[in-house]
Structure formats: C-alpha cells, structure tokens
Amino acid sequence: MEQIKVALYTRVSTKGQEDKDLSIPDQLRQLNEYCQKHNYIIYKEYNEGGDSGTDDKRPIFQEMIRDARIKHPPFNIILVLTFSRFFRDAFKSRYYKTTLKKYNVRVVSITQEFNEEDTHAEFMEGILELVDQQSSRDNAFHTLRGMNQNARDGYYNGGVTLYGYTKRNIEISKDNFRNKLVIVESEAEIVKRIFSEYLKGKGVKTISIELNNKNITKRGLAWSKDKILSMISNTAYTGEAYFNKRQVKENKFKDKSKWIKIECPVIIDKEIFIQAQKARKERSPAVVHPSIASSPILFSRIGKCGKCHDSLQLETGKNNQYRYYNCRTYLRQGKRNCVGNRIEMKILDFEVMEYLFHTMFSKERIKALISQLNIQFYQNRKHIIQISRKLAQEKNKLDKRITNIYKAIENGIVKNADLSERLTQLTQEKNLINEQIDKAKAGTIPPALLYRDSNIEKFRDMVKSAFFSNDNMLAKSYVKLLLKELTINENIVNIKANSFGLLSLIAGEKPTANEVLAVGEARLPE
C-alpha cells in the first residue's frame, strides 16, 4: 500500500502565542508524532510566524497553496494542529478547502478529526470554522480594548514610530514594562528644518530634492513630495497624536469620538504648525484659474513615463499659462530617480487623436479586427462551453450545501441565527457563479451588429466628433473607454487600445472586458 504524503502547516499570530503552547516547535512535535503513528511521509514543513489567520495574506500559506494546486500535487493532506491554524475565517476556510479538493488535497486537523465518509463531517467542520471565526473576533475585541486603555494611560502601543520619535521601554512596576515616545534629536532637527523651509516659501518638491541631494534620507529612504506633505499636516509634531484612528481592514478612518489622544513630545510649536497649514491651503492646486480647473487632462489615467513607468501628471509653467505632461516620479522626487519626460499637453493631445482616428481606428483596421475576433469566438467556443459546465457543477454543489443547512435548521441541530451569515455568503457565491455562467454563454456568440458597415461609419463619426471638438470632457470619456495604456518616451508614443471597448461602441453596447487590441506607435513632431 502506497504511503500517504503530507504537508505540515503551523502558524502563530503573535509572540505571545510562541511563549505559550501554540509555539511552532510544539505544533511540529505533535504533528510529527501523528505522522509516525499513521505511517505518513512528510513532504515539507510550512511554518508561518506572526501572521493572522483571518485572511490569506500569508506568504508561507500561499506558497503551500501554490504547491498543492498543480496537476499532480506532491502531497495528499495538509496536516494542522487545529483548523484555526489553517484559517480563522469560515468563508475563506471553506473556499480554500473546496479549491484544494479539486486537486485531491484535504486539510486534516489532528485534534479535530472527522471521518471523511461521514455525511455530517463537512457540516461539523463548518461549525468549528464558525466557532474559530467568532473566537478570533472576540480576541480582537478584547485586545483592542486593552490597547485603548494602554493609550489612555499615556503609553505607546507599538508599531512603526513617526519620523522624529522613537519608543523607550519604561519599567512602571516590577517586571512590568510599557513604551513611551521620546524625541530623536537628529530627526527632530530635520523636521524643524522642513517646516522652516516650507514657511520661507519653498515648495515640497524643492525641499525633497534638496534633502535627497544632500543624502539626508528618511531612515534610509528617499524623500518625496507626499512624505513632506504628510509631515507638514501631521498634528503629532505639536503633541496631538492619536491611537485607534483607522479601521485597518476597511482602510478608512473611524469616527473622531473613538480616537484616543496619546502623550507625544512637542517638536513643532502649534503656531508654526497653523502657519504651515495656512500656507498649504494658499498653495493648493485647487486654487487655480477656473479655465484650468474645468479642462480635464485627457491621458491622466492611462499615461505612463517610458523611462520609469510611473504615471504622467499635469505640470504647469509661468503662472499656469502653459500646461505639460510630465513624469510623476520626476515631479515628486527630482531627476535623481527619473530624468522626466516633459511634453506640451496640446501637442500630445492633438497628435495622438490624429493617429487614433486616421490609423488605429481606420475603417480597414476595424474590419480586420472584427474578422480576427470572429475566428477567436469560434476557436474559444468549445473551451467556453467546458467552463460553463464546470460552473454549473459548482452551482449544484452550492445548492446542496444551502439545502443541508436548511435541513439542519429544520431538524433543530442548529439555530437559524447561528448560520444566517453563512447562508448569506453561500447565496452570494451562488449569485456570482450565475453571473459567470451568463458571461460565459454570451462569449460563445459574436455580436451581430459588428459586421455592418453602417455601424463602423457611425462609430468613426462619433469618435471624430468627440476627439476634435472643444468638449474635453467628452473626449476624455472616449479615451477612457477605448485606450488601455499610453507610454511616452521622448517623442515616441506607444498605445495599447481596449478592443472590447471599441467593439462594444460599434455594437452600441458597453464594454465587457479589458483585452488589448494592438500596440500602435505614433511619433511626435521634433
């Protein structure tokens, strides 16, 4: 009988877990003993330290999943101490377990074993996953409550300290240490210098370039406009620092009533800070001539620098009389990181529009594209039908799982309220699969209107009217729909167009994909 190959997965979230019975060595010890008892062959150990089980942003976890998701995986089982080591999110745990099953790989807990032939095994695993998820939420709630109180007591909770400060470990009682923020004098001098130079009239770009040229870094990293602006607007330098400001997972600010003020030594006098905010408001790009504010930049979303591949943005000259496209890196950090790519805006706009209309979107080229697309439709038809069948199978599995939950509720095994969230998630999965099935079916038949000359001519008339009118807002809406990327290198412009955006306009429909039509090249006048 062939021996079963297994992968061992261990995880700890915090240093505290390492100090307790959840340490990685202890998990490995128990997993190895289990393997010896069952005569399993260990393929590899995947040990994850310091990562939360509530999401899949774990490098070792992702490495293990990649190793498993191949035609012939090198192991048949992922062995964990408890299912909570694999995941503390019920939905994501079920998603990955279902995905792994397609490759004949199972996730097995040595302390929460279920007979895979038992019809209730998957249901019971789901219950444990929900318990682990709620336990994680409870832990997070109590941890945050403790950290909030620590902040109210005047102590620093940790993390990357703001430039100008460091944390100092202070013993408040025997074997009880807390962190306090203290000033780093060398960094504080740079902070004061930046505020001083800004109030003297220097721009944030100039300040960042001067610091970089003098090899004055921000803890080893180059200064930029954004870093200078962030410093100038940070109230912590006046002694007003706050904890519990952001909802990290949702990436948004909490209500100010939940912010907790923490002790922070003063580096910048409050009056100086107020003057800096006033100066920033007066220099704001929003305070410009109305004619500039109402004139949208055509290629702001898709324009790229051919030298460093950063985005292009507006640069003005002589009190906003002249407008240029230039590299974002150059404008924010200076030529130390990119020499720039300055091009007069009206010249680039006109030359690109001319090239698009007369060459890239010519009648002959559009017809050639439609013929090519028609061939692709029929070549892909068989593959799309196979995808539709697989999606239908996934949908049937979801229907069965939803039905099983309702049966469990009817039989009194579990209360409706306990699984309401799970039912919602499964229903959302089902709706998503229905949408994918509809899209797959639509991809088997090319739009009938594409072949009409009248539609092609109508499209070209619309493009001509938009490109060469004085309505820049209309022109920009067409650019956004028809182009994917525009890269500028000296006087050469490379253009990638959105083929489905083009074809959807011809057919009178909205675009449904972001495939690339072709790469065109336009040359600007010397």
Work out the pLDDT band at 32, boundaries 50, 70, 90.
Answer: very high
Please give the Cα distance from 241 to 167 (Å, whole number): 14
**Range in 171-180, 313-322, 434-443 the model is least confident about:** 434-443
Q: Give DSSP secondary structure letters for 24-57.
A: HHHHHHHHHHHHHHHT-EEEEEEEEES--TTSS-
Residue 490 phi/psi, 5-degree rounding, is: 60, -115
Please, what is the Cα angle at 63 between 43 and 94, to 5 degrees?
Answer: 95
Work out the pLDDT band at 292, boundaries 50, 70, 90.
Answer: very low
Query: CA torsion sign, 232 to 237 to 239 to 240?
Result: positive
Structural contact between residues 511 and 482, judged by C-beta atoms closer than 8 angstroms: no
Residue 220 has pLDDT above 70, yes or no: yes
**Range in 142-151, 207-216, 264-273, 318-327 the model is least confident about:** 142-151
Work out the pLDDT band at 449, boundaries 50, 70, 90.
Answer: low
Please give the Cα distance from 366 to 374 (Å, whole number): 12
3-state secondary structure of 10: strand
Written as six digits, the tokens of 402 are: 């939803």
What does DSSP assign to residue 110? S
CATH code: domain 5-139 is 3.40.50.1390
CB burial of residue 86 (10 Å; 0-12, 13-18, 19+)? buried
Pick the more confident residue, 267 or 508: 267
Percent of the chain with pLDDT over 90: 16
Q: Tokens 């990327």 correspond to what residue?
A: 485
Residue 296 has pLDDT above 80, yes or no: no
Helices 185-199, 225-232: crossing angle, 10 deg rounding: 90
**Range in 197-211, 289-303, 317-331 the model is least confident about:** 289-303
Residue 430 has pLDDT above 90, yes or no: no
- Structural domain spans, the chain: 5-139, 165-283, 288-377+446-526, 378-445
Please give the Cα distance from 369 to 446 (Å, whole number): 13
Structural contact between residues 122 and 422, judged by C-beta atoms closer than 8 angstroms: no
| All residues at 6 or more sequence positions from 126 whose CB lies less than 8 Å from its CB, including other chains | 90, 94, 422
Please give the Cα distance from 490 to 307 (Å, whole number): 9
Please give the Cα distance from 373 to 365 (Å, whole number): 12
Mind spelling out the 3-state secondary structure of 268-299? CCHHHHHHHHHHHHHHCCCCCCHHHHCCCCCC
- Torsional class of 55: left (φ above 0), alpha (ψ -120 to 50), beta (otherwise): beta
**Range in 182-196, 207-221, 288-302, 386-400 the model is least confident about:** 288-302
How high is the pLDDT of residue 176? 72
Architecture of the domain delimited by 165-283: Alpha-Beta Complex (3.90)
How high is the pLDDT of residue 398? 77
Q: Which residues of 380-415 are buried (b: 16+ CB within 10 A; e: fewer)?
A: eeeebeebbeebeebbeebeebbeebeebbeeeebe
Work out the pLDDT band at 417, boundaries 50, 70, 90.
Answer: low
Percent of the chain with pLDDT over 70: 71
How high is the pLDDT of residue 35? 92
How high is the pLDDT of residue 141? 58
Pick the more confident residue, 53 or 404: 404
Q: Tokens 């990649």 correspond to what residue?
A: 66
Q: Tokens 């253009």 correspond to what residue?
A: 495
Q: Helix, strand, coil % (nearest 5) of the chain? A: 50, 20, 30
Pick the more confident residue, 474 or 325: 325
Pick the more confident residue, 32 or 262: 32
What does DSSP assign to residue 81? S
